Amino acid sequence: MANTNKKYELSPFVKWAGGKKQLLEKLMHYAPDSFERYYEPFIGGGAFLFELQPEKAIINDVNEQLLNIYKCLKTDADALIAEIRKLDSVDCDKERYYNLRDVFNDKISNRSLDIECAALMIWINKHCFNGLYRVNSKGLFNVPYNNKKAGKSMNEDNLRNIGKYLAENDIEITQGDFESACKSAKAGDFVYFDSPYIPESETASFTDYTKDGFTYEDHERLAVLFSELDSRGVKVMLSNNNVPLVYELYDGYVINPVDAKRSINSDASNRFGKEVIITNY
């Protein structure tokens, strides 16, 4: 059970596929009591980071627009809040949504990772269908409008406090593949992997989180990295669906089936929990 240094009440600033809000209690239960530096190579919406609030961390994702938001929050949360306020000050309709989506896509194409790009991504996340992040083969965002006309795209206090947490602590924000994000992890550090999940059924297809998707080979690569980190003395935790492939890939490690809705004790006897939390300690 992790000891938390929680100073702020923080929650994810975007709705994100695979968000870990429902599983936080279980993740806290299976996380190690103590560790040096925390690594989260698939940070997404950051639900677990915001619960754990480690003092030293490296957070990473392949999505550079998402990482840009974390960077803007760390550098100047108030400036980002002001930019989002401007977007929220005008009611939305179909035309406005698709115009702003075009502006966001220009930012993606030009790789302009600035405060406007961060504000647009947060605003779009609240105005697009189901808060999805999906891109086409050119890497351009293509989720349709959810028909929401007005309302706030943010909780200002939450953004301000996330900014404080990121700035007051030693939090490094990197963009890239999960393997390179773990290069500096050493004995005593703690890595939590929450990759795109293996599909629940064999007929379901792998989710495309980015233009590259996350393939079967990526899952194999992740399992190899898990055991490399294990042999370096790093504490490793990983979540995934409770499917046969997971038992093949992580044979020999502690695989705990969990159900977001059930208590810890009832999970222990339940080999059929929907998800698993795997640890090497």
Contacts with ligand SAM by CB under 6 A lie at: 12, 16, 18-20, 41-42, 44-45, 47, 61-63, 177-178, 194-196, 209-210, 214, 218
Q: In angstroms, give the least distance from the CB of 256 to ligand SAM.
A: 17
The pair of structure tokens assigned to 153 is: 């795209």
Specify the residue, 169 or 241, whose C-beta has the smaller distance to ligand SAM: 241
Handedness of CA 53, 132, 123, 260 (dihedral sign): negative
Q: In angstroms, give the least distance from the CB of 180 to ligand SAM.
A: 9
Q: How far apart are CA 193 and CA 279, in angstroms?
A: 10
Q: How far apart are CA 19 and CA 34, in angstroms?
A: 24
Specify the residue, 13 or 92, whose C-beta has the smaller distance to ligand SAM: 13
Specify the residue, 47 or 277, whose C-beta has the smaller distance to ligand SAM: 47
Q: In angstroms, give the least distance from the CB of 108 to ligand SAM.
A: 14
Whole-angstrom Cα Rg for the chain: 19
Specify the residue, 92 or 135, whose C-beta has the smaller distance to ligand SAM: 135
Q: In angstroms, give the least distance from the CB of 158 to ligand SAM.
A: 15
Q: In this structure, which amino acid lies at residue 216?
A: Y
Specify the residue, 89 or 201, whose C-beta has the smaller distance to ligand SAM: 201
Specify the residue, 149 or 176, whose C-beta has the smaller distance to ligand SAM: 176
What contacts 247, CB < 8 A, 6 or more positions away? 255
Specify the residue, 65 or 161, whose C-beta has the smaller distance to ligand SAM: 65
Specify the residue, 52 or 92, whose C-beta has the smaller distance to ligand SAM: 52
Q: In angstroms, give the least distance from the CB of 209 to ligand SAM.
A: 4
Q: In angstroms, give the least distance from the CB of 132 to ligand SAM.
A: 12
Contact between residue 255 and residue 210 where contact means Cβ atoms under 8 Å apart? no
Size (the chain), residues: 281
Q: ∠ at Cα 242 (276, 2), nearest 5°? A: 5
Nearest residue to 4 (alpha-carbon basis) of 23, 31, 41, 26: 31
The pair of structure tokens assigned to 24 is: 């936080």
Strands across the sheet with 56-61, in order?
A: 170-175, 56-61, 38-40, 190-193, 235-241, 275-279, 254-258
Tokens 């293996």 belong to which residue? 198
Q: In angstroms, give the least distance from the CB of 163 to ligand SAM.
A: 18
Q: How far apart are CA 19 and CA 210, in angstroms?
A: 16
Tokens 């495309």 belong to which residue? 208
Q: In angstroms, give the least distance from the CB of 211 to ligand SAM.
A: 10
